[in-house]
Structure 1
Amino acid sequence: MNPSVWLALLGAGTLISFTPGAGAVNTMSNALTVGFRRAIWGIAGQQAALLIHILVVAAGLGLLVASSPVAFSIIRYAGSAYLIYLGVRKFLAAPEPEEAASARSLEGPLSMFRRGLWVNLLNPKAVVFFLAFIPQFIEPQKPLLGQYGVLAGTVVAIDVLVMWFFYAAAARSFQRYTRSHRGQKALNRVFGSLFVTVGVLLAFA
């Protein structure tokens, strides 16, 4: 991949990562629950899903998903239902005493990784997006493996930096609200509503 194409990829990838979505909501929610540092496990799950999407597109399976209304709808509604489920659960979550909140902050890395994976994986529009996005930066006449490696590495690196150092870091400004029952309730409703909103948009947009 020549430098000019890579710089274009860098710019496009940065703009895409800064666009709010389910991954951003999940990252901020994790950062508030388990802290800035441990939020990386959820981000890692989201990146694993991005890599799977890229592999699907590179293997040509993405075209099958995009061209099959049934497959597309099944994945879309499953993803929407999962996000709405997370949102309702978050919205209805009762405020916790400080001791319980501390215990909850011990959520295991695997649990956060798995949730991040499903949040990004159950989004068929990501496959369709990558189908339109990836060909702009791939030169078919050159070896594909190295190009896909650079593309995947760049996209993942950008998304990790944006999710961790922008969205997770931004959640720090809300942490003072987690010290009171009223603040916890407000944040649960805000993030619950955001999950539900993204889920509804995924289903009907």
Structure 2
Amino acid sequence: MAFEVWLPFAAAALLLAVLPGPGVASIVGFAFSSGRRAALASVAGMATGNLLAVTASLAGAGAILAASALAFSIFKWVGAGYLIVIGILAILRSGRAGTAELERRPVSPRAAFMTNVAVGGLHPKTILFFVAFASQFVRPDRPYLPQALVLGATFVLTAAVTDTLYALAASRAAGIVRHPATRRWTERIGGGVILSAGVALAATSR
């Protein structure tokens, strides 16, 4: 792929990755509710989910989502519902927890990873992004697959870098808080952010 074709796409991918959305909100929520390890695991999960979404787009799922309102809604509501449940559970746990219990009940890195695999993989906007936008950077006179792989890798890696920066910044901010009562509120805030991410995903439209 020619550099002058790739560069505008990379810039667009960076802009899309930097703008906060449901994925960034869930990462920040895990940072506040469960710490840096869970936040970084959620970044890895989001990257994996993005990779699955890109692969699904290349396999033709994007065309199905673009053509079917029902398929789009199913993808959207499954991902949104999962986030909403995780957020509500985090808020409820913080309300029931005592000080000692609060110290030992963060969401595990594995759970954070799997959550964001679902969020990234079930986000219909990512799939449609490749169908409606990324395809404009594919030259029809050259082999399709190598170009699609370059564009997909660019998007996934760019998002992984920016998501990592969000995770580290949010984890550092959450780590400043040491008092147990304040930490309980940061866990509630984290759960609220994850819940809000699910609501935002549910509110998306084509």
The two structures have a TM-score, normalised by structure 2, of 0.85
Aligned to 1:83: 83
Name the aligned partner's letter for residue 199 of structure 2.
Answer: V
Is the contact made by 2:30 and 2:42 (CA closer than 8 Å) also made in structure 1?
A: yes
Query: 2: CA distance between counterparts of 1:98 and 1:40?
Result: 24
Query: 1: CA distance between counterparts of 2:119 and 2:64?
Result: 21
Query: 1: CA distance between counterparts of 2:112 and 2:187?
Result: 17
Aligned-partner SS, 2:8: helix
Aligned to 1:187: 186
Query: 2: CA distance between counterparts of 1:34 and 1:191?
Result: 8
Q: How many angstroms does 1:160 deviate by?
A: 1.4
Is the contact made by 2:90 and 2:187 (CA closer than 8 Å) also made in structure 1?
A: yes
Gaps of 5+ in 1: none
Count matched residues.
202
Query: 1: CA distance between counterparts of 2:114 and 2:27?
Result: 13
Aligned to 1:97: 99
Q: How many angstroms does 1:33 deviate by?
A: 5.1
Q: How many angstroms does 1:114 deviate by?
A: 1.1
1:119 aligns with 2:111: no
Matches within 5 A, 1:1-205: 1-32=1-32, 35-36=35-36, 39-94=39-94, 95=97, 97=99, 101=103, 103-104=104-105, 107=108, 109-177=109-177, 179-205=178-204
Deviations 1:65-118 (A, max 9, x none): 2211222212211122111111211222225536752x44583x5333211201
Name the aligned partner's letter for residue 159 of structure 1.
Answer: A
Name the aligned partner's letter for residue 64 of structure 1.
Answer: I
Q: 1:113 to 1:37 in 2, by over 3 A?
A: closer
Deviations 1:152-197 (A, max 9, x none): 22112211111112343333122122x2233223222322222222
Query: 2: CA distance between counterparts of 1:112 and 1:65?
Result: 27
Name the aligned partner's letter for residue 191 of structure 2.
Answer: G
Aligned-partner SS, 2:176: helix
Is the contact made by 1:36 and 1:169 (CA closer than 8 Å) also made in structure 2?
A: no
Measured on the aligned residues, the alpha-carbon RMSD in Å equals 2.3
Query: 1: CA distance between counterparts of 2:89 and 2:39?
Result: 19
Q: How many angstroms does 1:10 deviate by?
A: 1.6
Q: How many angstroms does 1:35 deviate by?
A: 4.2
Query: 1: CA distance between counterparts of 2:141 and 2:179?
Result: 60
Q: How many angstroms does 1:143 deviate by?
A: 1.2
The two structures have a TM-score, normalised by structure 1, of 0.85
Aligned-partner SS, 1:82: helix
Q: Percent identity?
A: 31
Gaps of 5+ in 2: none
Query: 2: CA distance between counterparts of 1:137 and 1:90?
Result: 42
Query: 2: CA distance between counterparts of 1:69 and 1:106?
Result: 34
Query: 2: CA distance between counterparts of 1:106 and 1:38?
Result: 7
